[in-house]
Amino acid sequence: MQSNNGYYGEFGGSYIPEILYSSQQQILHAFEEAKNDPAFIAELKDTWQNYSGRPTPLTFCKNLTDHFGGAQIYLKREDLNQSGAHKMNNVIGQALLVKRMGKKRVIAETGAGQHGVATALIAARLGLECTIYMGAKDVKRQYPNVFWMKQLGATVVPVAEGAQTLRDALDEALRDWSSSHEDSHYLIGTTCGCAPFPEMVAFFQSVIGEEVKEQSMAQFGQYPDRLYACVGGGSNACGLFLPFLEEKQVEMVGVEAGGKGLELGQHSIRLSNGLGQKGIAQGFATMFLQDENGQLQETHSIAAGLDYVGVSPIIAHLAQEGRIQMTYAMDDEVVEACSLLLKKEGIIPALESSHALAGAFKDAPNLPKESRIVINLSGRGDKDIFNVAKAMNDATFPEFLEDYMADYNSDNEGEA
Amino acid sequence: MSQLAQYIAEKRQQKPILSMTHVVYGYPSVKESLDWMATLLEAGADFIEVQFPFSDPVADGPTIVAACHGALHDQTLTVEQCLKDIGQLGRDFPQARIALMSYLNPMYRYGLEKLVKRCAEENILGLILPDLPYEQAGDLREYCAANGIDPVWLVTPVTPKDRLAFLASEASGFLYCVARSGVTGNSNHNGGEQQSLDEYLAEINEHSNAPIGVGFGIREKAHVDALKGKADVAIIGSALLDAYNKGGKEEGLKLFNSLFNA
């Protein structure tokens, strides 16, 4: 979606410290050139295909469809990307741009760690130095991803400021960029931040929706009736939705994290129920969760990747225009939806993506049998094994951990 | 002529360089922060740059970030009360001036037009918003022009030459020259940098009609002395806060005096 000088309606823009002006302009021009350069696009497509495994399948879910007895349910399988999430689409695009700009280092923020791992993967492949900022709280709840980032050669910096989550990681990444902009690129993971990041990330993610267009025509001869995506920063939603914007008959539903309840601090709902208010922070204008004095507030979600205080200016605008309907799913509904997909279809979804499932499952029984819905399965759930085991009250998991620890310690003692 | 620029010009008749000391409003408490500001003014500070805390201060380094988070931790700060408090401070110390610094969001929520009007009422003549670039500040510029308030633009060593010339020519109260890359608080002065800082300030002086303030990385008397004849105001922030954190007002004052009264 083309912005109006960096704006989408009243959202977006570029509100950055003066020190970043030149670097931001450089990215703006480099992206403008690159997206119109057939050689760049060819390299991008080649890397998507041969490194990340695109195109990802569009999977019909017969069992789920029968289970609900309503709409025919399809999943867009972004979980099958290299790295296990849609995040790869964007990092490949931006990393190729980094090479083009001649920079040697990338900085990234990460919440769940998916974007951090994706960035570390592509940095290893393209020989870029890589520093990942991650809230200290997220480091704890997503340690397996931290482990892999480190193994991939990235430096992981736990951010102990503020609430120690994605928002603080983003602040810290911006601070790093302020002092390292001459040789470093801020490889933002979602459709947020100053222009041109929202537009650029949406551009790289739009491969999702473009593929769904082709696949839906091939599989059932028309576009889907409804699309569902979870909305944290908004990149997987932008990726699925934007190619369908002009197809007015295609309805779009964004699902935010309802967390534990609707009190401030318990959820990450920015666009429903009047819970978010317009603000300008972290480089752009959007709907933020904030208090009446303009201080950004803490958020919660069982899915670290949705636990963010702001939201894409593109999604904020399309929601305001009514083009996208916004809804939310609570933590317990999300775990239920995750469990249902496991049992019915043999697919392990990320808890982030399980929000989209939960939103769609609520509607599916009430939709006509001939209608078709596509849910963006933005990531796979392997990374969530600890959190899902806890949420499902799995009795044997703690035993496994204890045994594992005993074994781990005795092996290490043996070596020492 | 801008009231702020006039004040600086008059004061510069008596002093080779003026001092702007930065204090985070509400840190560690509102009372203590106001008390610390008063102490600095008694010691002869020409300006206080009062930072109204924001939860996500992206242009600041660890010292100021921690102070902002500390200030917001267990009390509710309102822009209105801050304006009242620092307005009173300005009336108590009429020989000095107060500038307000914050990030855009708390000011935006308060209302930019109301903010500028209230600043004028409280004689807070300068407004520093590091995440509001000139191009995005059309409304604010209009309100400021109507109320005799100066929006303070920042320039940096990596600001392109034509943009630097433009921002310098647009400056009214004073132009805030960031001495180096990065966030507030680091110090990486060396001989080579001094030379490039001199060239950078010379370039700015060529284009600026307004006085020049220099901040970021000023920690020692030598840094302040090096600015004499090249800039009008030395801005001291993180170093002062570090000293205050280390030994309270006494330690902070010692640093201030060593920089400006020695």
Quote the ipTM score.
0.93
Tell me: the pLDDT tens digits for B97-130?
999 999 999 999 999 999 999 999 999 999 999 9
* Model confidence at B184: pLDDT above 90: no
Give me the residue from A17, A290, A297 closest to B59, CB to CB: A17
Using a CB-CB distance cutoff of 8 angstroms, which residues of chain A are in contact with residue B159? 18, 21-22
Average pLDDT, integer, range A227-245: 98
Q: Quick one: which of B67, B119, B115 has its CA closest to B97? A: B119
pLDDT at A179: 87
* Residue A134 and residue A248 in one domain: no
Asked if B224 contacts B260 with a C-beta cutoff of 8 angstroms, the reply is yes
Regarding predicted confidence, which is higher, A2 or A39? A39
* Residue A91 and residue A181 in one domain: yes
Closest-CA residue in chain A for B160?
Answer: A22
Flag whether residue A19 sits within 8 Å of chain B, measured between CB atoms. yes
Q: Quick one: which of A215, A244, A194, A239 has its CA closest to A25? A: A194
Q: Could A182 and B158 be called an inter-chain contact, meaning their C-beta atoms sit closer than 8 Å?
A: yes
Q: How far apart are the first and last CA of chain B?
A: 32
Peptide bond into A198 cis (omega under 30): no
Query: Per the structure, how many domains does chain B have?
Result: 1
What residue numbers bound the domain in which B79 lies? 3-153+232-260
Q: Could A175 and B132 be called an inter-chain contact, meaning their C-beta atoms sit closer than 8 Å?
A: no
Residues of B with CB under 8 A from a CB of A: 54-61, 65-66, 69, 72, 76-79, 103-110, 130-133, 135-136, 153-156, 158-160, 163, 178, 181-183, 186
Flag whether residue A293 sits within 8 Å of chain B, measured between CB atoms. yes
Q: Residue A408: inside a domain, yes or no?
A: no
* Residue A154 and residue A37 in one domain: yes
Asked if A378 contacts A234 with a C-beta cutoff of 8 angstroms, the reply is no
Strand order in the sheet with A129-135: A155-159, A129-135, A105-110, A184-186
A23 to chain B, closest Cα gap in Å: 9
* Residue A68 and residue A93 in one domain: no
Residues in CB range of A122: below 8 A, 6 or more apart: A88, A91, A92, A95, A128
Q: Residue B191: inside a domain, yes or no?
A: no
Among residues A201, A225, A251, which one ends one of the domains? A201
Known catalytic residues of A are 61, 86
Q: Residue B134: inside a domain, yes or no?
A: yes
Q: Residue B164: inside a domain, yes or no?
A: no
* Residue A290 and residue A373 in one domain: yes
> What is chain B's mean pLDDT, rounded?
94
pLDDT at B190: 47
Flag whether residue A171 sits within 8 Å of chain B, measured between CB atoms. yes
CATH number at residue B23: 3.20.20.70
The four Cα atoms A401, A406, A410, A412 give a dihedral, to 10 degrees, of: 30
Distance CA A347, CA A334 (A): 15
Q: Residue B118: inside a domain, yes or no?
A: yes
* Residue A169 and residue A318 in one domain: no
* Residue A166 and residue A22 in one domain: yes
| Tokens describing residue A140 | 């704890």
Q: Residue A313: inside a domain, yes or no?
A: yes
Tell me: the pLDDT tens digits for A280-328?
999 999 999 999 999 999 999 999 889 899 999 999 999 999 999 999 9
Count CB pairs under 8 A between chains A and B.
115
Q: Could B158 and A181 be called an inter-chain contact, meaning their C-beta atoms sit closer than 8 Å?
A: yes
pLDDT at A415: 60
Asked if A120 contacts A130 with a C-beta cutoff of 8 angstroms, the reply is yes
Tell me: the pLDDT tens digits for A37-52?
999 999 999 999 999 9
* Model confidence at B227: pLDDT above 60: yes
* Residue A192 and residue A335 in one domain: no
Q: Of A14, A19, A182, A289, which to mutate for an interface test with B (greatest number of B Cβ within 10 Å)? A: A19
* Residue A348 and residue A381 in one domain: yes
What residue numbers bound the domain in which A234 lies? 54-84+206-389
Give me the residue from B65, B104, B181 closest to A280, CB to CB: B104
Give me the residue from A14, A161, A296 closest to B136, CB to CB: A14
Q: Tell me the C-alpha to C-alpha distance, in Å, between residue A306 and each of A237, A238, A258.
A: 12, 14, 10
Asked if A53 contacts A70 with a C-beta cutoff of 8 angstroms, the reply is no
| Tokens describing residue A15 | 């509100």
Regarding predicted confidence, which is higher, A162 or A366? A366
Average pLDDT, integer, range B218-245: 95
B262 to chain A, closest Cα gap in Å: 32
Flag whether residue A178 sits within 8 Å of chain B, measured between CB atoms. yes
Using a CB-CB distance cutoff of 8 angstroms, which residues of chain A are in contact with residue B66? 161
Using a CB-CB distance cutoff of 8 angstroms, which residues of chain B are in contact with residue A171? 56-58
Q: Residue B144: inside a domain, yes or no?
A: yes
Q: Residue A412: inside a domain, yes or no?
A: no
Flag whether residue A13 sits within 8 Å of chain B, measured between CB atoms. yes
- pTM above threshold 0.90: yes
Distance of CA B257 to the CA centre of its chain: 18
Buried b (16+ CB within 10 A) or exposed e, B140-174: beebbeebebbbbbbbbbbbeeeebbbbbebbbbb
Closest-CA residue in chain B for A309?
Answer: B56
Tell me: the pLDDT tens digits for A171-207?
999 999 988 988 999 999 999 999 999 999 999 999 9
Average pLDDT, integer, range A334-339: 97
> What is chain A's mean pLDDT, rounded?
95
Residues in CB range of A28: below 8 A, 6 or more apart: A195, A196
Quick one: pLDDT band at residue B193, thresholds 50, 70, 90?
A: low
pLDDT at B142: 97
**H/E stretch holding B220:** none
Among residues A151, A167, A201, which one ends one of the domains? A201
Closest-CA residue in chain A for B157?
Answer: A19
Quick one: pLDDT band at residue A75, thresholds 50, 70, 90?
A: very high
Q: Could B107 and A294 be called an inter-chain contact, meaning their C-beta atoms sit closer than 8 Å?
A: yes
Q: Of B60, B78, B105, B162, which to mutate for an interface test with A (greatest number of A Cβ within 10 Å)? A: B105
Known catalytic residues of B are 49, 60
The single-letter code of the amino acid at A168 is D
Give me the residue from B77, B105, B163 closest to A280, CB to CB: B105
The four Cα atoms A391, A352, A224, A44 give a dihedral, to 10 degrees, of: -140
User: Rounded to 5 degrees, what angle do the CA atoms A177, B23, A283 make?
Assistant: 30
Ramachandran angles phi, psi of A265, nearest 5°? 100, -15
Q: Could B57 and A171 be called an inter-chain contact, meaning their C-beta atoms sit closer than 8 Å?
A: yes
Using a CB-CB distance cutoff of 8 angstroms, which residues of chain B are in contact with residue A16? 131, 133
Average pLDDT, integer, range B37-65: 96
* Residue A145 and residue A279 in one domain: no
Q: Could B153 and A18 be called an inter-chain contact, meaning their C-beta atoms sit closer than 8 Å?
A: yes
Query: Per the structure, how many domains does chain A have?
Result: 2
Q: Of B30, B51, B58, which to mutate for an interface test with A (greatest number of A Cβ within 10 Å)? A: B58
Question: Beta strand A284-288 with A277-281: parallel, antiparallel or unpaired?
Answer: antiparallel
Give me the residue from A18, A277, A282 closest to B56, CB to CB: A282
* Residue A167 and residue A288 in one domain: no
pLDDT at A111: 86
Using a CB-CB distance cutoff of 8 angstroms, which residues of chain B are in contact with residue A264? none
Using a CB-CB distance cutoff of 8 angstroms, which residues of chain B are in contact with residue A21? 133, 156, 158-160, 163
DSSP A338-383: HHHHHHHH---B-HHHHHHHHHHHHHGGGS-TT-EEEEEE-BBSGG
* Residue A111 and residue A214 in one domain: no
**H/E stretch holding A252:** strand A251-259
Q: How far apart are the first and last CA of chain A?
A: 58
Q: Could B133 and A295 be called an inter-chain contact, meaning their C-beta atoms sit closer than 8 Å?
A: no
Least confident of A43-47, A119-123, B82-86, B222-226: B222-226
Among residues A168, A201, A234, which one ends one of the domains? A201
Flag whether residue A167 sits within 8 Å of chain B, measured between CB atoms. yes
CATH number at residue A296: 3.40.50.1100
Q: Residue A342: inside a domain, yes or no?
A: yes
pLDDT at B182: 74
Using a CB-CB distance cutoff of 8 angstroms, which residues of chain A are in contact with residue B61? 175
